[in-house]
Amino acid sequence: MTIRVGVDGYGTIGKRVADAIVRQPDMKLVGVVKITPDYNARLVVEKGIPLYTQ
């Protein structure tokens, strides 16, 4: 069974959580939510993670 996880925010904590999820064999990172586009949003897209905005 795969657990699908979304991360709300991609700051210091969000980056670490997203990286940890990607490394888990039983979890799938389905996307990251950002309120405002900034440099961190670009990093999400470059890593191939789906980006959602509010």
Per-residue pLDDT of the chain (54 residues; tens, 9 = 90+): 999 999 999 999 999 999 999 999 999 999 999 998 889 899 999 999 999 987
The total number of structural domains in the chain stands at 1
Domain holding 33, by residue range, is 3-53
Report H helices in the chain: 12-23, 39-46
Q: How far is CA 51 from CA 1, 10, 27, in A?
A: 24, 10, 18
Read off the CATH number of the domain in which 47 is found: 3.40.50.720
pTM: 0.85
Find the radius of gyration of the CA atoms of the chain: 11
Two tokens, residue 48: 């191939």
Tokens of 52: 């959602």
